[in-house]
A and B are shown apart, each in its own frame.
Chain A
Amino acid sequence: MPEDREPQEAPETVDGAEMEEAARRLGPRNPVLRFLSQNRGVTALLAVVILGALFTPQRGVNGPYLVNVITGHAEPLRDSDGAWNPPRFLTTKIHSDVLYEYAEYGLLAVGMTLVILTAGIDLSVGSVLGIAAVTFAYLLIARGTPPAVAIAGAAGMGTLCGLINGFLVSKLHLQPFVATLAMMVAARGGAKVISGGYKIQAGGADWYWVQGDLPEFMTWMVSPSYGGFLRPVTLLFIVSLLVMVVVVKYTRFGRYLYAVGGNEEAARLSGVPVTGTKILAYSLCGFFAGLAGFCNACRTGLGNPEAGTTFELDAIAAVVIGGTSLAGGRGAMILTLLGALIVGYIDKALSVNNVDVAYRLLAKGLIIVIAVVIQSRRRTN
Chain B
Amino acid sequence: MSQAPLLQMRQIDKWFGGVHAVSHVDFDVRAGEIHALIGENGAGKSTLVRILSGAIQADAGEIVFDGRKLHMRGPKDAEAAGIAMIHQELSLCPNMSVAENIFLGSEPLGPMRTVSWRRLRADAESYLRHLDTPIDVTRAVEEYGIATQQMVEVAKVLSRNAKLIVMDEPTSALTDTEAQRLFEIIRALKAEGVAIVYISHKMEEIYELADRVTVMRDSHWIGTAEASDLAPGQLIEWMVGRKIETLFPKRSVELGEELLRVEDAVLRANDGTDRLLVDHASLSLRAGEILGLGGLRGAGNSELLGLLFGQFSHADVEVCLRGERVRIGRPSDALAQRIALLTNDRKTTGLVLSMSVLHNMTLASLKRMGPTPLVVPREEVRAALPLRQRLSVKTASLDIEVSALSGGNQQKVALAKWLMTEPDVLLLDEPTRGIDVGAKAEIYELMNELASQGKGILLITSELPELVEMSDRILVFHRGRITKELRGEEMTQQNVMAAAMSGASSHA
Contact = CB atoms under 8 A, between A and B. Distances in A.
Q: Do A and B bind each other?
A: yes
B2 A1 contact: yes
B223 interface: yes
A21 B417 contact: no
Contacts of B311: 269
B201 interface: no
B300 interface: no
A262 interface: yes
Most B-side CB within 10 Å, residue of A18, A253, A254, A272: A272
A330 B238 contact: no
A265 B94 CA distance: 15
Interface stretch (B66-74, B78-86, B362-370): B362-370
Interface string B308-319: 010100000000
Contacts of A21: 15, 20
Interface stretch (A5-13, A224-232, A298-306): A5-13
A5 B225 CA distance: 7
A67 B238 CA distance: 68
B105 interface: no
B355 A258 contact: yes
A5 B223 contact: yes
B354 interface: yes
Contact of B20 (A2, A22, A262, A329): A22
A268 interface: yes
Given A7-B238, A8-B223, A11-B220, A271 B354 contact: no
Most B-side CB within 10 Å, residue of A2, A5, A6, A7: A7
A10 B242 CA distance: 12
A79 interface: no
A375 to B, nearest CB: 14
A351 to B, nearest CB: 37
Interface stretch (B129-137, B211-219, B470-478, B497-505): B211-219
Interface string B1-30: 111110000000001011110000000101
A262 to B, nearest CB: 4
Contact of A267 (B212, B309, B335, B352): B352
B352 A262 contact: yes
B424 to A, nearest CB: 15
A268 B347 CA distance: 14
B352 A269 contact: no
A49 interface: no
Contact of B366 (A1, A4, A255, A265): A255
Interface in A319-360: 328-330
Nearest to A247: B373
B359 interface: yes
A62 B336 CA distance: 69
Interface residues of B, number: 52
B355 A329 contact: yes
A22 B367 CA distance: 38
Interface residues of A, number: 39
Contact of A1 (B1, B17, B332, B359): B1
Contact of B241 (A10, A250, A268, A272): A10
Contacts, number: 116
A252 B373 contact: yes
Contact of A266 (B18, B215, B352): B352
B351 A263 contact: yes
A265 B217 contact: no
Given A8-B222, A10-B241, A250 B352 contact: no
B352 A271 contact: no
Interface string A364-375: 000000000000
B417 A270 contact: yes
B341 interface: yes
Interface string B337-351: 000010100001111
B65 interface: no
Contacts of A10: 217-220, 222, 241
A234 B299 CA distance: 62
A4 B224 CA distance: 6
Contact of B349 (A259, A262, A265): A265
A262 B353 contact: yes
A18 to B, nearest CB: 7
B351 A22 contact: no
Nearest to A264: B352
B218 A272 contact: no
A250 to B, nearest CB: 6
B127 interface: no
A33 interface: no
A258 B352 contact: yes
Contacts of B349: 265-266, 269
Kindly list the 3 A-B residue pairs having the minimum CB-CB distance in the complex, ordered from nearest.
A7-B223, A262-B352, A329-B354
14 contacts: A5-B224, A8-B220, A26-B17, A250-B375, A252-B366, A252-B367, A252-B374, A253-B373, A255-B359, A255-B366, A255-B375, A258-B352, A270-B331, A330-B354
Given A258-B359, A262-B352, 16 more contacts: A1-B5, A10-B241, A11-B220, A21-B15, A22-B18, A22-B19, A25-B18, A251-B373, A252-B366, A255-B359, A261-B354, A262-B353, A265-B348, A266-B350, A268-B331, A270-B417
